[in-house]
């Protein structure tokens, strides 16, 4: 089953809740109007360098990753989002193939503290989860947006407090995005969709990495 099929199943279940669906549709429409996806970095752009903490309290540098090979950068919103966790797990399943193709995988979230470390533990992820504190890297990639009121209300209903998770009350999160960056730091594949139920297929990521090996 492809990741898309699994995400479609989650969406079908979620569509039973009218309020959730209304918040979903309003969010996607707002981001579409704002052309959020078109403002994000694209194929051919250079990846901005970064230095971010991982779940063990160590610093991870983008240039050290690139020195070892191409890098897959995956932006996710947090493990409060079922589409994100499903995607993180699909990427874990694809990790042997990503590694075999010479790629390294990192996933960035605006979550801080115990939240992002817990994501890694809870879903037994063996790749790096990095805390993009204050969305500094997300903003450079152009994938950050502000959570609209309707979505906030819905999240509050689920007991999800992004201010507490982020350690700031700006309520900025990324649109889900996946990038493959070659060793020269140039973006060779970009998947950005304002519809957060749509994600890059791990198979596509692996195929891009394979083509870079050539």
Partner 1 sequence: MELFQVRYFLSLAKTLNFRRAAEACNVSQPALTRAIQRLEEEVGGPLLYRERNLTQLTQLGQALLPHLEAAYAAAEAAAQQAAAFKRSERAPLRLGLGSTLSAGLLVPTLRELRERLTGFELDLSEGGADELFARLLDGTLDAAVLVEPKRIPERLNHWPLFKERYVVICPPDHPLAALDEIPVAVLGKSSLLARSRPGCDIEEAGRRLTAGVVRIDPSHRGRSEDHIHQMVAAGLGIALAADRQLMPAGVVARPLAGAERRIIVSAAAGRPHGPGVAAFLKLMRARDWSVPPPAPVPRPDYARVWKS
Q: Which residues bind partner 1 (CB under 8 A)?
A: 30-31, 33-36, 39, 48-53, 55, 57-59, 61-63, 112-114, 116-118, 131, 133-137, 139-140, 142, 144-146, 148-149, 167-170, 172
Q: How far is the CB of 79 from partner 1 (least distance, A)?
A: 14
Name which of 10 and 133 has its Cβ closer to partner 1. Answer: 133
Q: How far is the CB of 154 from partner 1 (least distance, A)?
A: 14
Instruction: List strands edge to edge, sheet with 71-75.
Output: 128-131, 104-109, 71-75, 177-181, 187-192
| DSSP 8-state class, residue 15 | T
Q: How far is the CB of 106 from partner 1 (least distance, A)?
A: 14
Name which of 46 and 93 has its Cβ closer to partner 1. Answer: 46
Rg, the chain, Cα only:
16
Q: How far is the CB of 211 from partner 1 (least distance, A)?
A: 27
Please provide residue 135's backbone torsions phi and psi, each rounded to the nearest 5 degrees.
65, 25
At 155, list the tokens: 């999240």
Name which of 51 and 186 has its Cβ closer to partner 1. Answer: 51
Name which of 135 and 202 has its Cβ closer to partner 1. Answer: 135
Q: How far is the CB of 188 from partner 1 (least distance, A)?
A: 20
Please tell me the distance from the alpha carbon of residue 120 to that of residue 173, in angstroms, as a whole number.
19
**Which residue in 192, 183, 189 sits closest to 71, CA to CA?**
183
35 contact partners, CB below 8 Å, separation of at least 6: none
């Amino acid at each position: 089953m492809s990741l898309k099929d699994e995400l479609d199943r989650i969406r079908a279940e979620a569509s039973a809740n009218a309020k959730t669906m209304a918040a979903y549709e309003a969010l996607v429409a707002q981001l579409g109007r704002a052309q959020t996806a078109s403002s994000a970095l694209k194929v051919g752009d250079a990846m901005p360098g970064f230095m971010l903490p991982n779940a063990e309290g160590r610093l991870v540098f983008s240039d050290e990753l690139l020195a070892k090979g191409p890098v897959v950068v995956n932006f996710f919103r947090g493990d409060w989002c079922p589409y994100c966790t499903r995607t993180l797990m699909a990427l874990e399943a694809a990790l042997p193939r990503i590694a075999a193709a010479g790629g390294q995988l990192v996933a960035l979230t605006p979550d801080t503290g115990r939240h992002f470390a817990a994501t890694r533990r809870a879903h037994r992820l063996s790749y790096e989860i990095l805390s993009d504190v204050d969305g500094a890297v997300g903003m450079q990639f152009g994938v950050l947006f502000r959570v609209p009121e309707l979505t906030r209300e819905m999240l509050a209903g689920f007991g999800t407090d992004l201010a507490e998770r982020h350690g700031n009350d700006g309520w900025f999160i990324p649109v889900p995005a996946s990038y493959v960056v070659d060793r020269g730091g140039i973006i060779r594949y970009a998947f950005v969709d304002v519809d957060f139920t749509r994600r890059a297929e791990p198979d596509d990521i692996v195929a891009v990495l394979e083509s870079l090996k050539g």
